[in-house]
């Protein structure tokens, strides 16, 4: 309803991003409603609880990779089958894909994999589709600021990021020259430089 208030048509379709058949079905349903789709944003992800290296289970590892990586692969493959010349894929990774955080191995490695997948797809899908990656830093959402892992004072820009900051990066890749591909854009207020 919030999206429709902006005068934009939208459709909600539920799918488990870990399930290829559900992804393909949802993509087909979205195409029926929207017609041609020229921008895909792969944004599904999980941030599992802190787990020491020796305590990482198969279930934790597999669930993290299935959601953070496999979903992006499945949706991108479905999109690539129907995408027109000049279409865009924007993957959401994390600054955590470029850093190592103690107790966060499944998350760090899965987000590093998204970054590498983005670069690989940029080569594989050129020249029809450009593929880029956005890496958010610490983002504050309206109802969930109590568990942020970085002190605001450690961020050079002096504040946490917002959903609008991430939107601006995604919008840039969605609307900019299709010649820009394989890029990784950090949206972290300069935190990676000061860390």
14-64 tens-digit pLDDT:
999 999 999 999 989 998 988 889 999 999 999 999 999 999 999 999 999
Written as six digits, the tokens of 4 are: 């429709």
On the CB side of 55, how many CA atoms lie within 13 Å of its CA? 8
- The H helix count followed by the E strand count for the chain is 7, 4
User: In which band, very low, low, confident or very high, does the pLDDT at 144 lie, cut at 50, 70 and 90?
Assistant: low
| Band of residue 150 on the pLDDT scale cut at 50, 70, 90 | confident
Per-residue b or e along 42-70, where b marks 16 or more CB atoms closer than 10 Å to that residue's CB: bebbeebeebeeeeeeeebbebbbbbbbb
What is the dihedral angle through the alpha carbons of 103, 109, 112, 116, rounded to the nearest 10 degrees? 180
| Average pLDDT for 141-153 | 73
pLDDT category of residue 146 using cuts at 50, 70 and 90: low
Residue 43: what are its φ and ψ, rounded to 5°?
A: -125, -5
Higher pLDDT, 145 or 137: 137
Q: Are 117 and 167 in contact (CB under 8 A)?
A: no
Is the alpha carbon torsion for 119, 130, 121, 112 positive or negative? Answer: positive
Whether residue 80 has pLDDT greater than 90: yes
pLDDT average, residue stretch 91-116: 97
Q: Which residues, at least 6 apart from 72, have a Cβ–Cβ distance to it below 8 Å?
A: 17, 42, 44, 91, 114, 117
pLDDT, residue 147, reads 62
| Over residues 82-96, mean pLDDT | 96
Work out the mean pLDDT of the chain and round it to a whole number. Answer: 93
Active site residues: 107
Q: Residue with structure tokens 């991108």?
A: 76
**Total-model pTM:** 0.93
With CA atoms as reference, report the closest residue to 36 among 88, 102, 97, 82. 82
């Amino acid at each position: 309803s919030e999206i429709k208030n902006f005068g934009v048509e939208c459709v909600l379709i539920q799918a488990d991003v870990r399930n290829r058949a559900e992804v393909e079905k949802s993509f087909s349903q979205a195409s029926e409603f929207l017609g041609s789709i020229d921008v895909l944003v792969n944004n599904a992800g999980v941030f599992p609880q802190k787990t020491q290296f020796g305590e990482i289970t198969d279930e934790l590892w597999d669930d993290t990779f299935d959601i953070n990586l496999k979903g992006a692969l499945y949706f991108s493959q479905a999109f690539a089958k129907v995408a027109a010349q000049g279409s865009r894929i924007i993957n959401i990774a994390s600054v955590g894909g470029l850093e190592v955080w103690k107790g966060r191995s499944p998350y760090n490695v899965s987000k590093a994999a998204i970054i590498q997948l983005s670069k690989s797809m940029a080569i594989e899908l050129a020249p029809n589709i450009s593929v880029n990656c956005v890496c958010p830093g610490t983002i504050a959402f309206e109802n969930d600021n109590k568990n942020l892992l970085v002190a605001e004072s450690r961020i050079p820009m002096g504040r946490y990021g917002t959903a609008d900051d991430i939107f601006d990066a995604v919008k840039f890749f969605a609307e900019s020259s299709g010649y820009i591909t394989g890029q990784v854009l950090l949206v972290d207020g300069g935190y990676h430089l000061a860390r």
